[in-house]
Structure 1
Amino acid sequence: MSTPNDELLPELDLRLTQENLDDLYEHAPCGYCSCLPDGTLVKLNHTLLSWLGYERSELVARQCLQQLFTVGGRLHYETHCAPLLLVRNQVRELSYSLRRKDGSTLPVLMNAQLLRDSDEQPLLVRVTLFDITERRKYEQELLRAKAQAEEQREQLAQANELLTSKNEQLTRINSDLDSFVYTASHDLKQPIENMAGLFQELRRTVTFHDPEAADMMGMFTQALQQILTTIKGLTEVVQLQRQLEQVPLELVVLQPFTEEIIRSLQQVNGQNATFTLDFAAAPTVCMARPGLHSMLYNLLSNGLKYAEPGRRPHIRVSTAASDDATVLSVQDNGRGIDLTRYGRQLFQLFRRFHPEVVGSGMGLYLVNRLAHQAGGRVEVDSTVGQGTTFRVYLPQHTTCQLS
């Protein structure tokens, strides 16, 4: 009874059923041979002869199967394969290399079956050989790739070990430098303050008749004040660094936090500046509160300090989301910075770009250091005469708790 699937089968060409078995043997896609139990070759197909480059008469009854193998393969055949055939009557997928007549080699996989006579005595070994040249190339490529990967892994491990060592060394150096700066600034502060006090007493009690004395006294006073400002700044940097190491991260609400800083700045500076706050995109940031306060205070005070003469200062503070970071931006309409000229020096300690404005040159250094300590970074856009925008990228922390 026919089925619907039968109708889909093409009509069979009867010539396909008349396959010549001798031709199939001779031109099979694999090598065939037969040999006596001692290995003497009695029959080989054309495929195997073409691989080896021999004539049939050069091999049949003249050579043994194991003689076609390389030295190592011959030893393996005689000590492992032949005894295994006698025990199991067959072996499968043994890897050998055939020696061609021209001296080259051909990698093959061998299957063999031992036939016995009616008395169970070994009679004939039938052998099938498969060319695995491409497979061997692939295996060699895999081995090379594995060796390269191992070498790269070792190099990476060494590089990581070296990097860890360098980081530990840098951490120790930074700690030593901070301790040195703190100690030096602390030890210098009292003598400088004493010197300033003595100088003030000198100005009060001594009369100078030299007309240039007043200018020199003013310059000396200014120099003393600059030294005191620098010492105070150095102490603040180290103290803040140590303080932040002990302070936990907080989820700070930016609106009231920033408004409080603005009120304190307006009381000190007394400038008629306007502020725009826009924290809709990210109302909070995760950072240690003292560090965030110092960062915003320095950026906002710079916006007031470096205002363009004759222009009312306007500062805009806003947030935006960027991948896994919150971007805190402070934009002013002040004097601007020539980034082409000073870009690489922007965050260096004691670098100042507007000498006509009083400052210590530590604000931007501190901002950059605080951002890096929090795992973030600072980017700057500025146009001379138009203003500057600082963007602080702060990483988001899922474990940060609202204070």
Structure 2
Amino acid sequence: MNPQEDEQLPALDLRLTQENLEDLYEHAPCGYCSCLPDGTLVKLNQTLLGWLGYTREELVASQCLQQLLTVGGRLHYETHCAPLLLLVNQVREISYTLRRKDGSTLPVLMNAVLLRDSDGQPLVVRVTLFDITERRKYEQELIRAKGQAEERREQLARANEQLTLQNGQLTRINAELDSFVYTASHDLRQPIDNMVGLFAELQHTATFHDPEASSMMSMFEGALQQILSTIAGLTEVVQQQRQLEQVPLEVVELQSFAEEIIRSLQPQAAELEATFSLDFSTVPSLRMARPSLHSMLYNLLSNALKYAQPGRKPHIKVNTALQEGMALLRVHDNGRGIDLERHGRELFQLFRRFHPEVVGLGMGLYLVNRLVHQAGGRIEVESIVGQGTTFCIYLPV
């Protein structure tokens, strides 16, 4: 036998068995009324009278149930509810709005049962009404929230359409700019080469008696070489971008990939006595175009060596992590650092350089930024002048 069955139930308070049925009817938490088949009211409980604000004498045998409803509710009751009662003897959970004596309204949910006499003739309709004011407020709030959500969805759809249009325009503009840069650099190269040839001939054949001529010639030659380097850089950036756009994605194992890049930088690294720390345990591989990843990592590692702090051996850390649902490729060095407060907005602009004493064209970070965005990622930079720089590249997993 279940031990719980041996437990004695608490003694029943006999006063609960002596409830007054009339009182239960009059003060029930819902409205009760009875009416004739044509709707004439014959009985209402005190709860319903309290809701409506009428006295019993004002309603009994004086008004019909449908007269207590709004115009729309009355039409529905007469064309739908009353015929359905005659057909199936009951209706359930029909929403109506009652009109109070003071003109205000009360939303209710109605259940009704039709009782018949011994001959089967309709005798009386018993009606139960539930106050659904709070439910109606909740429903209206849901409708309002749904309307707001729909409005926001439409706004987002319009914004997305606008962004798609703008993205298409930017893509077209970028393509046109790339074509312009490539064409301009190609067309400029021939006249510049001609100038270089003419200048070389001038150096061999002309004699200058001005003592400052030699330094001026050197300055002119340097300017020509700078123009040639800029044109070559522009051409290289556009060509590399076009080539990378056509390379398929593949899974790249980062450990061996990074080690291969470091070996290619070994002469420079050995001269500086640089050391590297690699940790790809969290994200051991990335799925992207191998040449793009090579260009990104090569530029960052070579820059870490190029901009090493004088008098300090470079130590470069490369690792991965998972953040915000994306793969994070982090490259940290202990080099010269960048004044981000001063140069932060220009950091990824083409031909922008922040350490004039170091030889370079200012294309590396520009290309890295373009490749990161092309891969669907973003790049963030942390740097302290004299202490080092950290590049954080977020890429899709």
Instruction: Give me the TM-score of the superposition, normalised by structure 1.
Output: 0.89
Contact 1:374–1:394 (Cα < 8 Å) also in 2: no
The 1:118/1:256 distance shift into structure 2, 3 A limit, reads closer
Aligned to 1:117: 117
Q: Answer with 297-306 or 188-197: which moved more.
A: 297-306
Partner Cα separation in structure 1 for residue 376 and residue 355 of structure 2: 30
Out of 238, 253, 263, which is 1:260 matched to? 263
| Corresponding residue number in structure 2 for 1:47 | 47
Whether 1:179 and 2:179 are equivalent positions in the alignment is yes
CA displacement at 1:285 relative to structure 2: 4.9
Deviation at 1:121, TM superposition (A): 1.9
Q: Which residue of 1 aligns with 2:280?
A: 281
Q: Distance in 2 between matches of 1:119 and 1:195?
A: 120
Matches within 5 A, 1:341-356: 341-356=342-357
The match for 2:331 is 329
- Helix, strand or coil at the partner of 1:207: coil
Cα RMSD for the two superposed structures? 2.4
Per-residue Cα deviation, 1:161-216 (whole angstroms, up to 9, x for no partner): 11111111111111111111111111111211111111111111100112222222
> After TM superposition, which residue ranges in structure 1, 4 or more long, deviate above 6 angstroms?
none
Whole-Å separation in 2 of the counterparts to 1:299 and 1:60: 91
Q: Summarize the Cα distance change of 1:284–1:118 in structure 2 as closer, same or farther, 3 Å threshold.
A: closer
Q: Distance in 2 between matches of 1:287 and 1:230?
A: 29
Distance in 2 (alpha carbons) for counterparts of 1:226 and 1:63: 102
Distance 2:248 2:319 in 1: 22
**Conservation of the 8 A alpha-carbon contact between 1:315 and 1:332:** yes
Q: Please list the CA deviations of residues 211-240 of structure 1 after superposition, one character each: whole Å capped at 9, or x if unmatched.
A: 222222122111111111111111111111
Q: Rate the CA distance shift 1:79–1:351 in 2: closer, same or farther, 3 A.
A: same
Query: Contact 1:281 / 1:319 at 8 angstroms: preserved in 2?
Result: yes
Equivalent residue letter for 2:272: A
The count of corresponding residues between Structure 1 and Structure 2 is: 390
**How is 1:185-334 mapped onto 2 (pairs within 5 angstroms)?**
185-250=185-250, 251-252=252-253, 253-263=256-266, 265=268, 272-282=271-281, 285-309=286-310, 311=311, 313-323=313-323, 324-333=326-335
Residue identity matched to 1:176: E
Distance 1:130 1:322, change over 3 A: closer
Question: Matched residue of 1:351: which SS?
Answer: coil
Give 1:126's aligned residue: 126
Instruction: Work out whether residues 378 and 395 of structure 2, in 8 Å CA contact, stay in contact via their aligned partners in 1.
Output: no
Distance apart, 1:278 and its partner CA: 2.0
| CA pair 314-5 structure 1, distance change in 2 beyond 3 A | same
Is the deviation greater in 194-203 or in 364-373?
364-373
Change (3 A) 1:390 1:88: same
Which amino acid in the other structure matches residue 118 of structure 2? S
Which is further off, 271-280 or 84-93? 271-280
Q: Is the 8 A contact 1:300 1:315 kept in 2?
A: no
Work out the CA distance in 1 between the residues paired with 2:232 and 2:78.
Answer: 89
Q: Please state how far the C-alpha of 1:287 moved relative to its aligned partner.
A: 4.2
Structure-2 separation of matches of 1:280 and 1:395: 17
- Gap change, CA 1:394 and 1:242, over 3 Å in 2: same
Change (3 A) 1:338 1:352: same
2:80 is aligned to: 80
Alignment of 1:72-111 (within 5 A): 72-111=72-111
